[in-house]
Amino acid sequence: MNPEQLYDIIDLQVEHWSRDFPHVKTMQNEILEMLKVEEEKFADTLKRGEGMVKRLAQDLKVKNQTTMPEDKLGELYDSHGLPPEIVKQAAEEQGIKVKIPENFYALVAKRHMQSSKQGEEEETQTDKSLEKLIKELPATEQVYYTEPYAKEFDARVLKTTNDGYIILNRTCFYPEGGGQPADHGFLVFQELTAEVVEVLKVGKVIVHKIVGSFPKEGSVIRGILTGTDATHS
């Protein structure tokens, strides 16, 4: 389906549902704008993924391997949202063969079920830790909704932890969720830099995991989105 067909379908859906829900019609422009943002976000994810597959293909060549391991397909899909068909196309352009199992998505689901129980305790412990961290903190201002193309922003540090988490009063970094990878980038403060490697949403609070220098609570930082994960470019 090309993008124009998708927009035509949205127009038809708006016309249909607005008969019973008039506010849908009044929100048509906002709906189309959100669709455009998500479309660009997915295109950026694919672009970033192609570069990742290219690097992976080069590593396989160095090891004299000509076929991509099946587990790598699942890893690229789970961690980076890359459909196996896209991986196959990008890898074979680099001379690496890719065989997509007919039951690929069933295998992914099975692996998730097997690892779910194993990671349940760790996830529960992390969740409890983050829930404790955000206790009594206000909701994070989600700038990526009000300024979807913003790549830089200023914010105040509300909370930090010894294990690398930081909470700001506002952010442009989109959190991981719904199969959508999180944005990445840097926090700059007092001529120091920290890399944002993970962004999570816990309740109404956005939590950033950073590596590198650490700002003090109460200080003002400048956030900078980088790479093709950012939809705001």
User: Which helix (H) or strand (E) covers residue 120, if one does?
Assistant: helix 104-134
- b/e burial code for range 202-232 (CB count within 10 A of at least 16 → b): beebbbbbbeeebbeeeeebebbbeebbbbb
pLDDT one-digit tens code per residue, 215-228: 999 999 999 998 54
**Domain membership flag for residue 155:** yes
Whether residues 87 and 168 share a domain: the answer is: no
One-letter amino acid at 113 equals: M
What is the rounded average pLDDT of the residues 210-217?
91
Domain range for 169: 141-226
**More confident: 123 or 173:** 173
**Domain membership flag for residue 133:** no
Whether residues 87 and 145 share a domain: the answer is: no
Residue 70: pLDDT band with limits 50, 70, 90: confident
Q: Look at residues 92, 127, 152 and tell me which one is the last residue of a structural domain.
A: 92
pLDDT one-digit tens code per residue, 147-182: 888 899 999 999 998 888 999 999 999 998 766 788
Whether residues 147 and 77 share a domain: the answer is: no
Indicate the number of domains in the chain.
2
Rounded to an integer, what is the distance from CA 89 to the centroid of its chain? 22
pLDDT one-digit tens code per residue, 3-13: 678 888 888 88
**Domain membership flag for residue 128:** no
Whether residues 88 and 7 share a domain: the answer is: yes
**Domain membership flag for residue 14:** yes
**Domain membership flag for residue 113:** no
